[in-house]
Amino acid sequence: MKNLLKKYFLFISLITICSCEGFFDDQVVDVSLENARPKLVVEALINWEKGTTGNNQTIRLSKSAPFFNTSDSPLVSGANIRIENSTGDKFEFTENNEGLYVTTNFKPKLKETYTLIIDVEGEEIRATETLIPIPIIENVRQDKIEIFGEEIPTINFTFQDTPDEENFFFFEYFPNFQPQKDTDFADDEFQDGNEIEYEFSSEYEIPGSDEEIREFKAGDIIDFALFGISEQFYEYFNIINEQSDPEVGPFSLAPAEAKGNCINITNPENRPLGYFRLSEVSREKYTYQ
Report the pLDDT averaged over residues 126-149: 95
| pLDDT score for 29 | 47
16-25, 180-189, 204-213, 235-244: lowest mean pLDDT where?
16-25
Distance between first and last Cα of the chain: 22
Residue 67 pLDDT exceeds 70: no
Residue 247 pLDDT exceeds 70: no
Domain of residue 57, residue span: 1-289
Quote the mean pLDDT of the chain. Answer: 86
Task: Categorize the per-residue pLDDT at 246 as very low, low, confident or very high, splitting at 50, 70 and 90.
Answer: low
Task: Categorize the per-residue pLDDT at 66 as very low, low, confident or very high, splitting at 50, 70 and 90.
Answer: low
Give the chain's domain count.
Answer: 1
86: left (phi over 0), alpha (psi -120 to 50) or beta: alpha
Residue 8 pLDDT exceeds 70: no
Kindly report, residue by residue over 195-214, the tens digit of the pLDDT: 999 999 999 999 999 889 99
Tell me the C-alpha distance between 156 and 158, whole Å: 7
Residue 30 pLDDT exceeds 80: no
| pLDDT score for 71 | 61
Task: Categorize the per-residue pLDDT at 258 as very low, low, confident or very high, splitting at 50, 70 and 90.
Answer: confident
174, 200 Cβ separation under 8 angstroms: no
| pLDDT score for 164 | 96
204, 177 Cβ separation under 8 angstroms: yes
Residue 98 pLDDT exceeds 80: yes
Q: What is the pTM of this model?
A: 0.83
Eight-state DSSP code of residue 38: P
Task: Categorize the per-residue pLDDT at 255 as very low, low, confident or very high, splitting at 50, 70 and 90.
Answer: low
Name every residue whose Cβ is closer than 8 Å to that of residue 196 and which is 6 or more positions away in sequence. 11, 13, 15, 158, 159, 160, 161, 188
